[in-house]
Amino acid sequence: MESARVRHDAALQRRTAVHLFSDYLPFHQLLRSWLIERKLQRDFDPLRWTRESTIEDLKQRLGLVTEGERRADGLYLGEVTSTELEDELGQQRLLRKLAGAYVGLDREFLAPYADLVG
């Protein structure tokens, strides 16, 4: 997970790029905390399904495809405001957009992101 964060930051190289693992969104910290809890409690049952999963299985879990515009090593999905980032519904909308962008990716990695404006 940390390598994914570094990879996204390196691909985008911009502070205003909001991606799935950026500090602008709570998802990275929430997932990291949840994984640490699983490890400390030795409760790996919620993750067992991943051992048997194919790439197609994972893509189906991500939802509908989100189209974007390739910009260098990123996949631009539009703009987002700081107000939207502070709002839970705004975060959920952006999460769906970001997750859906991964569905359409092939073998070449592009970092899905939205530009922070305002």
For 10-55, the pLDDT digits (tens) are 999 999 999 999 989 988 788 778 778 878 888 888 778 888 888 8
The mean of the pLDDT values for the chain is 90
pTM above 0.85, yes or no: no
User: Residue 74 and residue 55: Cα distance in Å, rounded?
Assistant: 21
Residues with Cβ < 8 Å from 5, sequence gap 6 or more?
21, 22, 28
CA 41-43-49 angle, 5° bins: 155
User: Residue 35 and residue 6: Cα distance in Å, rounded?
Assistant: 18
Is 12 buried (19+), middle (13-18) or exposed (0-12) by CB count in 10 A? buried
